[in-house]
Structure 1
Amino acid sequence: MIRIIEKRRNPNYRDHFKSCLYKLIGWTGESDVETRRALAHFDYLNRVFLISLCGGQKQEYDKPITRSVWISNWIIRIAILSTFIRTNLFLYFHGCHQMDLYLANPMPNAERSKKIVFFILMDVTIVIFSLLREYCHYIERSSVLVPLRIFFNIRKHGVEWKPLRFNSRCSKIFNKACYFIITNGTRLLVFICFYSILLYIAFRFYFSNYSTVLHVIFILLFTAFDVTVMLSFIVLLASLGIYLMALIAFYNAQADTIRDEIKHYLRKVALSSEELRQVNGKVIQFMNDIEKTYLRLNYLHLYLEVVIAFEVDFVLFVVIFTDSLPTTFFVTFFIFSVAFVVHAFLVIGNYWASRYYTKTLSIHGYYNGLILNTKTICSAQFKALEVQDRINGNKTGIAIGDFCLITPAFSLIFILENINFIMLLAVNVRTMI
């Protein structure tokens, strides 16, 4: 009792500051309660914006889509289609005052050349992101996104659940990494959505011409459509990036678990054939699981790495090297910020995915010690050589379509090639002008 009173009189401000700092940066302790809560909140956010039509992290692809979800999804599709049609009407019909009023042209008084660039950019963005949205729903119904059930199992059983195949150390590492990714990703997502809504509404009413109540009604109607489309695209791209990074953290933790077990066996004087056989089985199961997962997701990676990267590069080129957007400084800065954040997500995601490649290759080196440390020549040694050959082959890593694997070298090349693309595009356009 006396100690409690003394603690209340002399609070430890250092521990309190450290706790607040950890919460601010999205860091957690050894308990997985906060991680499970963060996964539940993030799953709810995805289901609200209809990123998933099959129960979110449950991935109930074998069950029919509920009527409310089906209707809501078609409302978003209609909003996307109406925005695309309006954009093309503004692109082809210039100077039509009635159309600008009743279809709520966001910039009726801008120069024609700038309007053309802006609406072409909108068309390209709508097409790319709507195709990505439909493709995600298609592969979800085809059971390709079943690996996301891992996060539902973590919510239900915790990170120390035995089927996850973590040891104590790696479960704590994964718990911290998963909480950090989900929490900060959700914060960034909510901030971008909130800031986008405020800026779009301010932009809409700053540039709009309205003279009657009917015009105001049309502006409010199409503003709701545009905001719905914008938020669905932002949440879609951010959710994909967050889930893929968390999935990579999961498999990296499993690879660390296998490495820890191999190091444990290397400390022994001699290794029995049965122990080597157990290690072989765990490594083969791990590689089968991850190859099965990422062979399903390889074309999704290809779409993100090529199409989305091209879209972001083109936006950065238009914002930085041209004066083609008929907008204010704040809107231009916002477009640049969003494009830069997406590009940063792609770069960080590539580097994070390349860690699986390096971790798996490190297992190859430890296998030499396992084989040499085995007591007698046995079939498990030959199986270990096959595992080594499989690890050292060209299939170790996260695939981008049928083209290449994500390696540390690819991460560096990705940055340089994107910078090179933007600079070459700027030089060629200026030469043509």
Structure 2
Amino acid sequence: MTAPVRTRSSEDLIRAEEPVLAHNYHPLPVVVSRAEGVWVEDVEGRRYLDLLAGYSALNFGHRHPALIAAAHEQLDRLTLTSRAFHNDRLAEFAERLAGLVGLDMVLPMNTGAEAVESGIKVARKWAYDVKGVPADRATIVVAAENFHGRTTTIVGFSTDETARAGFGPFAPGFRIVPYNDLAALEAAVDETTAAVLIEPIQGEAGVIIPDEGYLTGVRELTRRTGCLFVADEIQSGLGRTGRTLAVDHESVVPDVLLLGKALGGGIVPVSAVVANRDVLGVLGPGEHGSTFGGNPLAAAVGTAVVDLLETGEFQRRAAELGAVLRDGLTGLVGKGVVGFRSRGLWAGVDVDPALGTGREVSARLMGEGVLVKDTHGSTIRLAPPLTITEDELLNALATLGRVLERSV
């Protein structure tokens, strides 16, 4: 990266945000001004290894050349038409994305929360039109400790009181059961159930990986009871876990797949609901929409993302380097780490609470040039770009070890 253009200092910029930005985030005190690959720079020119990757939105790293080229080429031609008209990029994007995940049709949207909201609407419409659930009686079963977004509908079925408190009243029609508990799930499903909506791996909860066979059990249960299996792969999908999708680890194909984050290549917000024709076909003109959903720029970048994933390179890298990550974290257990969960290049690391909160550990790592993000309690999340090298990953793990050792 070339030297950053000198602007106001990090301290000045952080102070300037205070009176003009809503305080709905509590970021680490680093002000990023440039980035490339797995590295970011702050306004003073200090470099940091990014082990968060935008919560998996940057699976291919910052400014991946193929994605930047696709965006530049499209910027010179056409950016937005709205879905009032057709555009020449959307059909290929939908065809290629559907083919990548083995389903028929795509409903393009923008953000992950929009994909989840759209998936909920599709499931309810399917329940009324196809399953025959009486009007306004459809229910959706979700898992405790879920994270599907921040809209009022979604936080209404969250079990995180910080996300819920002060935002009611909430929409009815959701039943919450413990995650990774097939018996509880089966008890909650009845003739009104439109869908079971789960994350194959719960990201915000701390990278919680269910027991082997759980996803297969969800698939079997939903098929047997006549409801949809909706898999939220917005964080876990598109190479992160060493497969194209997290459900691929159990060779499970959900009825409805929710994608986002990495689908936009770290350039533009792109999300999608992907399903077979007998499910997505329930939507008719005027029943759902989005001004920016499926715009030409998003379709061009999304198609370039599919290009990268079709080679299998990133899935292989995530699997191979995931073994390095797992081995490195295993070596830190008992040395400041009390436990961890990992799959591919994604891990939730539980730090000994005596050494500090997850926020405090993240701040110490930032001081050593490594960026991570805390979640509940003393847990930190690691989700580096899939372009990280083995040496960079080993150096980051060594830095984590040093930070924990100094905290004792």
TM bin, normalised by shorter chain, reads under 0.3
Larger Rg: 1
The TM-score, its normalising length taken from structure 1, stands at 0.23
If the length of structure 2 is used for normalisation, what is the TM-score? 0.24
Higher RCO (CA 8 Å, separation ≥ 6 residues): 2
Structure showing the higher helix proportion among its residues: 1
